[in-house]
Amino acid sequence: MEIFTLLETLEEILEQSKKLPFTDKAIVDKEAILEVIKEIRLKLPDELKQAKWVKEERQSTKRSRWNSKRSRKQNYFYDR
């Protein structure tokens, strides 16, 4: 997923930033971070759509298997 790559890029920017002495603060390239955030926003809708589709397919498969199993059980009792 490209989102994870972009998040790793954000982490790298933060890890490579200059530290302020005696604090946990850092000086970062604001433009670089904003650019990565913009890319994440652009990629996010597509990846959410893919995740939704995968989830729906998984549920559909489970439902189909359940219905098939149920049908076989009913046929077993009716055939006797």
Cα Rg of the chain (Å, integer): 25
> Are the beta carbons of 35 and 5 closer than 8 angstroms?
no
Residue 28 has pLDDT above 90, yes or no: yes
**Residue 74 pLDDT > 90:** no
Judged against a pLDDT cut of 80, whether residue 73 lies above it is answered with: no
> Taking residues 39-65, what's their average pLDDT?
89
- Cα separation, 1 vs 54, whole angstroms: 14
Confidence at residue 1, expressed as pLDDT on a 0 to 100 scale: 66
Nearest to 2 by CA among 57, 58, 48, 52: 48
Task: Collapse the DSSP code of 17 into the 3-class scheme (helix H, G, I; strand E, B; otherwise coil) and give the result.
Answer: coil
pLDDT for residue 80 = 57
Q: Ranked by mean pLDDT, which of 1-5, 32-36, 63-67, 70-74 comes out on top?
A: 32-36
Q: What's the mean pLDDT when you consider all of the chain?
A: 88
